[in-house]
Structure 1
Amino acid sequence: MSLFSAIAIKNGIMPTMITWVPILHFYQPPTQDPRITREVSTQNYVPFLEFLMNHPQIEITINFTGSLLEQLIESGDKIVIDLLKELINRKQIEFVSSPMYHPLLPLVSIETMRRQIGKSSQLIQHTFNVEPIPVLLPPELAITPEMIEHCKGLFTGIIIDESSVTTDWNYVTAPKHSCIFNENTKILPSARGITEILRSYPTIIDPEKFISLLINSSQNAQPIISVNDVELFGHHYDERLNLLETVFNDNRVSILKLSDALPTINCTTEQIKITPSSWSSSHTSEPFSLWANPNNDLQVQYHEFENYVRTLIEKTNLSEMSSQLYEYIAKQFDQGISSCHTYWLSNWPWWHPEIAEKGVQKLISAVRAIPSNDEDKPEAERMFSTLIHDLWVYHWNGNQYPRYKEYDEYRNAFLSKLPDLS
């Protein structure tokens, strides 16, 4: 008998079966090297989609970001797109909604959020002749109560991280509520324990132990929603796709698309406080510290520059430019505020000055294309050159290495808390 079965039986719960709603996130940053996108496509996207093709009984929800779809179209990669089209025709997959270029929504304007969500939905509809379901998956699961208020009326559901509604999440218990009814909007917590295990477990996961964890983690027999990067299943971990296949074929686990699961979920009307959160909220008091840490000078500079560029764009008289020019400026700005550019400045442990520099280049390109406000552009150029200088000085001085060591210590402590699933 597994540890999880023993816990369940002790609590008077006999393990039977569970409904799991895994949502898989397909994404590459808008400034990604095309060679890397092709590599991930070959190693991960194609094998995963072919896996679905070979298992027609599996129906699943995915978040296919506009940023990645645009790259595949521009590179002429028809294999992934054709597989997606066939899976859509079979009704095996559905898309949730998300912004085009993966910005951290609590840090952008309402106009930017709506523009990017609209562009992503239009691209999906144009490419696949299908609309995303009206459920929002915020990039990095980053939300604030204010952001949720702005989204009401646009979506019937919003997926959040479990840490937004409880500080007591753990690895062997799913969220108490799979759905929280908030003024006609369904707030859908993603099970933090499940996502952390799939994302971080350092060795091969035993399928039987994972299935027992799924079954016994439910507190009220409600479906369990979880969000993970699809790259975990074949790119980062070779064996994780085999794990999914075993779980998907086990008759104790019912896999549903989100749209099929929602009617079966009992939404609580209990007043539950929603706090700012993201998928990284647990190890820091700052829920967005991987992207906007007030103690990270480079991230602070990046966001100051981003805000300055946005102000210049907002000051511009749109009647002075063609729609084509405006689209170019908006695209450069939107690509420049992708969360990845500041994520790779976090140095926790991720550090990649080239990716951050590409984002800064996008922002200054937007400024240089503005046909007016020339008096404000020297300050933009100063902020641009200072940020580029400072991030490379940080790099060449080796400032990233002490943070690597700090992170290794944190990660070892974190891994020691995971349940034994080997």
Structure 2
Amino acid sequence: MYWINFLHIYQPRGQAKDIFDRVVNESYRPLIKGLKENKSLKLNLNINACLTERLFKDGYQDVVSGLKFLAQRGQVEFTDSAAYHAFLPLLPETEIKRQINLNREINRKYFGKIYNPSVFFSPEMAYNKKIARIVKNLGYQWLILDEIAYNGKLNQASWFCFYEIEEAPGLKVLFKNRRISNLLSNALTRNIGSFKKEIGPIVKEDAYLLTAMDGETFGHHRPGLEKFLFQVLSAKAWKHLFISEALKHFQSGGKISPLDSTWTIEEEDLKEKKPYKLWHSADNPLQKLQWQFSYFVIKTVESLNHKTVDYQRARRKLDQSLESCQYWWASLYWWSLEMIEASSYNLRQIIFNLKTSTSFKKKAEKFYRQVLDLAFKWQRTGLVREFHKQEKKWQAVPFKERTNPEWYNQMILEFEAEMRRAAKDEEYERAIKWRDAIIKLKSGADVYDVLHVVNELWTVRRIPSCKPFLKYKKFSRFAKEYFLPFNYKPKYWKK
């Protein structure tokens, strides 16, 4: 098997310095150190230009030079992206091209000629046909997408070939394996043996495994996980591959038309035709206002004489202000009043600093106030909390009360099997995790989970993996303690 390990590193433009310093020292520097010490490892890396600029500005030139050194040594291959992490599918074509060209221009300035990507990564793996066409016309050969983009379902794309995009002849695509990526980034396994088992039979075949994760996960969000990353990367069970090398090892699986999607979207969202719901939902008036404000500022700035200092200054600020985070934090699924206000204020200031008519400034002020008023209203009235309650209304009922006893007991067997497997692999923390999940289910305390324990089990295990509950002749004492009473008892059950 060929492991194509892809990491995306990025920090919002307004990230607080103390947090930025932590990310550098907990994640970026350890990753570079680990790669330098393991010369055989390869990493496909995306670094948005805004992060490169910030690293240099804040005195972390060693991170930039370290990545450059690793690229020159043949261990890191850069991908291209949007300079300021813009949500590309919803931007005008001219803005998309500008973000991409700026990303290449700025990163080339700091990394030199070694920065010459043939692979494109759209922030959030956000995709539509417009992106494919633009990326192809700009000369890129590869695109990486989440596997759900293949046909709207998971576990459908083949790991034995690449595909070509129908709407952009010559542009090839590889798909992220979502389950294994989540397994690794959520630290649901910290044992190489169990990790190999999770990958399954393809580990011994001429297949590829593309994991795509945020680089900050390793060391910053999950302390110590960077050590396990290097352990599994160093295992002899797989070879390492750059995305650009896939053509040497795999054949085309034919032409496809990927669906509009992102790397966080679920199958149900696509059925409901909500491919970008965390960034632009039709039933979210706050996001609608944000996008209207963004389009207004883009149109106003682009109407200026491009040769003037006024335009150049405004254009620079506008590029920086199109980051995707502002819409994401207004989705209600994720919420930050601070981020919403700061982003809208930045757009307002772009117009206010122009030598333009008062009417434009009045309109910018109106947009800013509308965004702010609505956001504060949602915060004050408790709408945000109520939204989360309604979203998880089903979870307010304990699992044992919303499923039949047979399936509940089947899940106890699944949890028990996963617990015993973890203990056998000496992953004792993980074994305790699954044991505690069983206790939660029996007590009904699963209603307080942020990520429900059953959903979490689905990420690491194909369910059902155990044989059907009714076919067992005997059970462990542990399992019987947590079963629900079941009226129908086959004659071969022991008393």
Same fold (TM over 0.5): yes
Note if 1:289 corresponds to 2:277.
Answer: yes
The alignment covers a number of residue pairs equal to 396
The Cα shift of 1:327 comes to 3.1
1:264-290 Cα deviation digits (max 9, x unpaired): 221222x32321010122152311111
Change (3 A) 1:185 1:176: same
1:80 and 2:63 correspond? yes
Q: CA deviation at 1:217?
A: 4.6
Q: Which residue of 1 aligns with 2:27?
A: 44
1:336 to 304, 318, 321: 321
Deviations for 1:35-87, whole angstroms, at most 9, x for unmatched residues?
21111111111111111111111121100111111111221222322322322
**Contact 1:106–1:144 at 8 Å: present in 2 too?**
yes
Give 1:141 deviation, angstroms: 0.2
Q: Paired residue for 2:381, among 397, 402, 414?
A: 397
Q: Does 1:165 align with 2:121?
A: no
Aligned CA distance change for structure 1 residues 178 and 36 (closer, same or farther; 3 Å): farther
1:178 and 1:330 map into 2 onto residues whose CA distance is 42
Per the TM alignment, residue 204 of structure 1 is displaced from its structure 2 partner at its CA by 4.2
Who is 2:174 aligned against? 188
The one of 339, 348, 368 aligned to 1:384: 368
Identical counterparts, % of pairs: 24
Aligned match of 1:371: 355
Which residue in 1 is equivalent to 2:36?
A: 53
User: How far apart are residue 94 of structure 1 and its match?
Assistant: 1.6
Aligned partners of 2:160 and 2:206 also within 8 Å: no
Shift of 1:224: 2.1
Segments of 5+ residues of structure 2 without an aligned counterpart are 396-449, 463-495
Residues 187-222 of structure 1: CA distance to partner in whole angstroms, max 9, x if unpaired? Answer: 222222222323445x44432121233352579733
Q: Structure 1 residue 318: deviation in Å? A: 2.4
Inter-CA distance 407–250: structure 2 relative to 1 (3 Å threshold): farther
Q: 2:455 aligns with which of 385, 404, 414?
A: 414
Q: Does the CA-based 8 Å contact 2:97-2:134 persist in structure 1?
A: no
Q: Which residue of 2 aligns with 1:14?
A: none
Give distance in 2, aligned partners of 1:259 and 1:187: 11
Cα deviation for residue 331 of structure 1 reads 2.4
**Following superposition of structure 1 onto structure 2, how do residues 109-258 of structure 1 map, counting pairs within 5 Å?**
109-129=92-112, 130-154=114-138, 155-170=140-155, 175-176=158-159, 178-182=161-165, 183-200=169-186, 203-217=188-202, 221-258=206-243
SS at match of 1:160: strand
**CA distance in structure 2 between the partners assigned to 1:205 and 1:228 by the alignment:** 16
The residue identity in structure 2 corresponding to 1:313 is: V
SS at match of 1:49: helix
> Residue 96 of structure 1: CA displacement?
0.3
2:87 counterpart (104, 110, 125)? 104
Pair member with larger Rg = 2
Letter in structure 2 aligned against 1:108: L
- Partner of 1:315 in structure 2? 303
1:140-195: CA deviation from partner (whole Å, max 9, x where unpaired): 0000122212222211111111111123314xx86456421231111222222222
SS at match of 2:173: strand
Deviation at 1:306, TM superposition (A): 0.8
For 1:351, the equivalent position in structure 2 comes to 335
Are the structure 2 counterparts of residues 31 and 342 from structure 1 closer, same or farther at C-alpha, using a change threshold of 3 Å? same
Q: Deviation of residue 416 (structure 1)?
A: 3.6
Letter in 2 for 1:292: H
How big is the shift at 1:106?
Answer: 0.5
Q: Tell me by how many angstroms 1:298 deviates.
A: 1.5
**Partner of residue 481, structure 2:** none
Normalising by structure 1, we get a TM-score of 0.87
The letter of the residue matching 2:145 is I
The two structures have a TM-score, normalised by structure 2, of 0.75
Task: Give distance in 1, aligned partners of 2:115 and 2:383.
Answer: 46
Distance 1:238 1:294 in 2: 38
Matched, 1:277 2:265: no
Query: Separation in 2 of the partners of 1:217 and 1:291?
Result: 35
Aligned to 1:298: 286
Query: Helix, strand or coil for the counterpart of 2:256?
Result: coil
- CA distance in structure 2 between the aligned counterparts of 1:217 and 1:374, rounded to whole angstroms: 64
2:142·2:171 contact (CA, 8 Å) conserved in 1? yes
Hey, what's the Cα distance between the residues in 1 that align with 2:197 and 2:125?
A: 26
Aligned pair in 2 of structure 1 residues 206, 115: CA closer, same or farther (>3 Å)?
Answer: same
Q: 1:70 aligns with which of 49, 53, 72?
A: 53
In structure 2, what is the Cα distance between the partners aligned to 1:407 and 1:103?
27
> What is the distance in 1 between the residues matched to 2:326 and 2:295?
15
2:217 is matched by which residue type in structure 1? L
Which residue of structure 2 lines up, in the alignment, with residue 259 of structure 1?
244
1:297 maps to amino acid? P
Q: Distance in 2 between matches of 1:158 and 1:302?
A: 28
Does the 8 A contact of 1:103 with 1:338 survive in 2?
Answer: yes
Alpha-carbon distance between aligned partners in 2 of 1:276 and 1:45, rounded to the nearest angstrom:
31
Q: Deviations over 1:90-125 (max 9, x none)?
A: 221121000100111101112111111111111211
For residues 245 and 253 of structure 2, the distance between their equivalents in structure 1, rounded to whole angstroms, comes to: 18
Unpaired segments of 5 or more residues in structure 1?
A: 1-17
CA shift for structure 1 position 333: 1.6
Contact 1:302–1:387 (CA under 8 A) maintained in structure 2: yes
Q: Deviations over 1:222-246 (max 9, x none)?
A: 3222211011212222242232222
RMSD: 2.3
Structure having greater relative contact order (Cα 8 Å, sep ≥ 6): 1
CA contact (8 A) 2:189 2:195 kept: no
The one-letter amino acid of 2:258's match is: I
Report the 3-state secondary structure (helix = DSSP H, G, I; strand = E; otherwise coil) of the residue aligned with 1:113: helix
Does the CA-based 8 Å contact 1:25-1:228 persist in structure 2?
A: yes
Q: Is the 8 A contact 2:306 2:312 kept in 1?
A: no
Report the CA distance between 1:407 and its aligned residue. Answer: 5.8
SS in structure 1 opposite 2:132? helix
**Counterparts of 1:406 and 1:120, CA distance in 2:** 40
